[in-house]
């Protein structure tokens, strides 16, 4: 298991909860020393344009957020590449699953997971993918990106319905599993649904289906999760199941 991380992700780049101080630090305290860390490079403009329109990219640039958003995309891309050798987790921000081709909201600017999947497809490394999203909020951006693309299945896990993840992974054909890993469904976070141990179960389910159906190829990208008292523990539990 590799953790993709860059010190720039620690910077407070905006006033929203995803950018708040301490959010990534609480995760690092839980997992440092347990996994190997690797450092990403920013995504190229060509990579970002695999999903987003030039006009929207310029809007993000005008807000002064292009550099950190491109670095987050680069983290997701590196995790997707590592997944061909071993599982990976992109400990990145800003998050991305609310970013559509021509707009973004919900603390998201570029769609990290969607771009990483599109890049693998462009390079001919995969033909089909499943994206599992267990964030509290539906990833409308990811759904919009792939709404007409039958080669990518996007599944948002409703409430605490871990069985729905199994059903999708059992039914579909895929070459890789990408995960939008949001931790705000926890009972001490915004959602009030999941226990910490549930995240270990989700990780284990994804691992088992990846090993059975796509040579173990799997990677996850951080989305939501805002209570620093439990966020690090929740991420660690997920990784223990996922690794």
Q: Which active-site residues does the annotation give? A: 98
Helix (H) or strand (E) holding 2: strand 2-4
| Residue 215 DSSP symbol | T
Angle of CA points 218, 40, 48, to nearest 5°: 80
Helix (H, G, I), strand (E, B) or coil at 184: coil
Query: Is-contact 209 177, C-beta < 8 A?
Result: yes
Tokens coding 90: 């992109």
Report helix, strand or coil for 218: strand
The residues that bridge with 130 in the sheet, in sequence order, are 153, 177
Beta strands across the sheet bearing 88-90: 36-38, 2-4, 88-90, 218-222, 176-181, 129-133, 152-156
Q: In the 8-state DSSP scheme, what is residue 62?
A: H
């Amino acid at each position: 298991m590799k953790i993709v991380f860059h010190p720039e992700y620690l910077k407070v780049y905006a006033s929203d909860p995803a950018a708040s101080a301490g959010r990534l630090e609480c995760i690092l305290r839980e997992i440092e020393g347990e996994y190997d860390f690797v450092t990403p490079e920013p995504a190229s403009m060509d990579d970002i344009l695999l999903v987003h329109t030039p006009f929207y990219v310029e809007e993000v640039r005008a807000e002064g957020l292009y550099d950190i958003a491109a670095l987050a995309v680069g983290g997701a891309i590196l995790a997707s590449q590592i997944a061909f050798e071993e599982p990976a987790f992109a400990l990145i921000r800003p998050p991305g699953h609310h970013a559509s081709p021509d707009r973004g909201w919900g603390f998201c600017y570029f769609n990290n997971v969607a771009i990483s999947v599109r890049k693998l497809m462009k390079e001919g490394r995969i033909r089909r993918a499943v994206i599992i999203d267990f964030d509290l909020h539906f990833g409308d951006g990811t759904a919009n990106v792939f709404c007409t693309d039958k080669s990518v299945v996007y599944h948002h896990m409703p409430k605490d319905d871990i069985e729905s993840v199994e059903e999708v992974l059992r039914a579909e054909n895929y070459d890789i599993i990408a995960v939008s890993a949001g931790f705000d469904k926890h009972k001490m976070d915004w959602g009030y649904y999941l226990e910490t141990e549930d995240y270990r179960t989700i990780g284990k389910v994804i691992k088992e289906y990846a090993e059975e159906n796509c040579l173990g190829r799997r990677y996850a990208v951080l989305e939501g999760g805002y209570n620093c008292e439990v966020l690090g523990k929740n991420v660690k539990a997920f990784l223990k199941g996922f690794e």
